[in-house]
Amino acid sequence: MDKIVVQGGSPLSGSIPIAGAKNACLALMPATLLSEEPLTLTNAPRLSDIRTMTTLLQSLGAEVSLMQDGKVLALSSHGADNPVADYEIVRKMRASNLVLGPLLARHGEAVVSLPGGCAIGARPMDIHVAAMEALGAKVDLRDGYLHASAPGGLKGAVVELRFASVGATENTVMAATLAKGTTVLKNAAREPEIVDLVRCLRAMGAQIEGEGTATITIQGVDRLHGATHKVVADRIELGTYMLAPAIAGGEVELLGGDLDLLGAFCEKLDEAGISVTPTAHGIKVARKNGRVSAVDVVTEIFPGFPTDLQAQMMALLCTADGVSVLEEKIFENRFMHAPELTRMGANIEVHGGTATVTGVPFLKGAPVMATDLRASVSLILAGLAAEGETVVNRVYHLDRGYERVEDKLRACGAKIERVSE
């Protein structure tokens, strides 16, 4: 297994290109199942999660070709006749559940393995199931699989999510595009990845309004045609790399970054003493006056502070002036980076969904363990400013969501390398 080795203490200078959004691409790819015609996705990120989704779609009978070194995905579901998403693939990535809605819309049936829990939480599927049932499907849980059927096709309905689940919103919108009649989706998630999915579906001929708000209206159509769509920039990669100069010092320009994608995150950076300046090509980030101030953070659905940036923000606050309180309200177990940061000398107390971080003057490099995707990168960020060497093990977590993080940071002066064991 590879590991990442960081020698701390080098302020950063330079620019980092931001890739296409993993969490947009993982919802866009299953949309191919909604049409018999080719779907082309450009600006796709080169990540292991994308390769997992490729394998899953191919197992369903779709053709997926990665071109231009994986930046362009050519998808076609002309021959896709298998409605069964197998456990062996689904267990590797929760986002596999995003084939549920498209399979139901295409075949009138779907058999999708439950993804199982993951490091950050149990991650049930009840909201997805309730939404599919509201659209007229019958859903049974048998042998660890969701068996969904709608032999006469899905029917438009008023669907209200008990919680604004991102994945359930995406599954429902995709399923409703081919349902008979109109669907009004209430308490929908508002994340930019959903806006991007709707833009692609609209290019395929879907009739949808309200994306980015809590109510999305979908007028079902008989069929969708092919399209070419550019994947939106990855706001979580963007936020992650904005924290690199905030933690290590120096100044970095994030190329392709868009402030509109970041919601409350930028306000919190400003409060902490970090300047964020739009430029002709993206966003420039640096500390305002050398010090970082403690801030309180509560993770919320968009446009609140993103849960996917909580671990990275904690890495910044470990050496801030004062005490910061971070409340994780989206997932039940998303502080596993805390004990690893503590190994580096951080002062963090975790009680349930709340972590209290008392700033210390500096962290010390140490061998640490990556436990999940965003925790992994928070440890690398912490290592950028820590005294001495930090070794982050199990970086396969990292490669799920970040393209060659060591290359991007090294290009800005970080002393970082990947070591294969």
Give the footprint of ligand EPZ on this chain (CB under 6 A).
Answer: 23, 26, 94-95, 121, 123-128, 163, 165-168, 307-308, 330-331, 373-374, 401
User: Hey, is 289 helix, strand or coil?
Assistant: coil
Angle at 397 between CA 51 and CA 392, to 5 degrees: 140
Taking each helix axis as running N to C, give the angle between helix 373-385 and helix 310-317, from 0 to 180 degrees, rounded to the nearest 10.
20
Whichever of 324 and 376 has its CB closer to ligand EPZ, that residue is: 376
What is the DSSP secondary-structure string of 208-273? EE-TTSSEEEEE--S-B--EEEEPPB-HHHHHHHHHHHHHH-EEEEEET--GGG-TTHHHHHHHHT
3-state class (DSSP) for residue 197: helix
CB of 293 to ligand EPZ, least distance (A): 26
> Interhelix angle for 126-134 vs 100-107, to 10°?
30
Report CA torsion sign: 188, 177, 38, 63.
Answer: positive
CA distances from 416 to 33, 46, 390 (A): 41, 20, 9
- Nearest distance from C-beta of residue 380 to ligand EPZ, angstroms: 15
Greatest C-alpha distance within the chain: 65
Q: How far apart are CA 404 and CA 377, in angstroms?
A: 11
Q: Which is nearer to ligand EPZ, 40 or 165 (CB)?
A: 165
Residue 218 · residue 328 · CB < 8 Å:
no
Least distance (Å) from ligand EPZ to the CB of residue 72?
Answer: 20
Say how many residues make up the chain: 421
Residue 68 half-sphere exposure toward CB, CA atoms < 13 A: 10
Q: What is the four-CA torsion angle of 320, 191, 403, 346, rounded to 10 degrees? A: 20
Write down the least CB distance from residue 332 to ligand EPZ, Å. Answer: 6
Dist. CA 260–CA 377, nearest whole Å = 23
Instruction: State which residue, 94 or 408, has the beta carbon closest to ligand EPZ.
Output: 94
Q: How far is the CB of 279 from ligand EPZ (least distance, A)?
A: 26
Cβ proximity of 133 and 139 under 8 Å: yes
Rounded to a whole number of angstroms, the CA Rg of the chain reads 21
Q: Which residues contact 120 (CB under 8 A, 6 or more apart)?
A: 331, 332, 333, 334, 336, 372
* Closest separation in Å from C-beta 24 to ligand EPZ: 8
Q: Of the residues 25, 118, 266, 318, which is catalytic? A: 118
Nearer to ligand EPZ among residue 137 and residue 386 (C-beta): 137
Based on CB atoms, which residue is closest to ligand EPZ, 127 or 174? 127
User: For residues 220 and 401, which CB has a smaller minimum distance to ligand EPZ in the complex?
Assistant: 401
What residue is closest to ligand EPZ based on CB? 167
Closer to ligand EPZ by Cβ: residue 18 or 168: 168
Note if 118 is an active site residue. Answer: yes
Please identify, using beta-carbon distances, which residue of 163 and 396 lies nearer to ligand EPZ.
163
Q: Any idea which residues carry the catalytic annotation? A: 118
